[in-house]
Chain A
């Protein structure tokens, strides 16, 4: 039962492992809110010993598991896929599970707060219902006319490429809750809903583009967009959100899609 792998440890790997456990003290400044405790939100500082290569989500977990179990936040996959842990970290919307501590200047306190424009229920948890209502309103599902084909609905690679960018959305609400128009007008559909409408409007297999465009032609639709580019900057998936919104506007004007 000898373990020859031990000898095979390269010097580089040893160095990486030794360096990998270098801990630093970080301050996590979390905007906490508990309506049963106090009507106002309150900033609370937590001191942590963290590896700077860990993520903000690890820091939050550490607070919750080791310091204060009352801290509340959403997370599920922890790998940037489920879209449940969008939050404002150092004033910018990001996924806590995709943000490394070394990237958000751990020398100063790292501020963490709930995303803006949606009602905060507790700590970092917001009421996502209005967000998903806007998503549902653009009918984010395939609508077809005529007879069903006997085999699959064919599409060329170019036709698929047309809306490839907007298929990447994980509905984390980072874009919508970074939009200053949405902060002031909760009736605005918001970038995420428009991105998901774009995904079907430009899908060659879908036949309801007209209907979706009509929905977004509304007073609270695409024309409220001010091309602030906050959404494109906030998107953890790198979707060119503002570009997608502009493409929907152009489709509305030219009626070509």
Chain B
């Protein structure tokens, strides 16, 4: 019984290490590839697929979260008479924390899973193999553009998320709850620092974009060419991405804000 359990743990550990090795190899070979001028239209296409098509969900969620933050913050702050700090609170929370994290989670669900499914299906239908046999390396033609596309796109989506959230917060606070608009904006402007807060949020979303797109590509490329393998790969993408985002968020916060 014990031996059996130990053996399973051992096998699990080995499986995990070897899959991490394969993921690293995929990443390094996608990054090492000599940049190819033919890849630029492909990257633009991926920015469209992963970025432009995600705008709607990002804007809607950003709006909802910004509005809720303002509402919740107001009910708390108005009790100590500091509702003028509402703008500052909403902006800080969005820019440093919720903007990068939630947009990365949404990106994993919307774009990451799509990338996994697409590549997994290409593999299952031998499209990757036939591309190889034509003498075109699928790592530079399929994997690399998606990697760069996703890497570029997520920080931009996170910026949009924060801005829409702050705007929604101002709608709720100023136009609805009647917080004085001058203090809403000026207290925010004073309390938020570009390098201390905005930049650190951007750095977070750059890291998240890197991790999410890497996981998505690896899960697709490493999937079993069956319908079950494909569904498992897409699930893994969303689950692993989400866990990694949250764990990394903790450590990044710890590192950057020097607590």
On whether the two chains bind one another, the answer is: no
User: Which residues of chain B have a CB within 8 Å of any CB of chain A?
Assistant: none
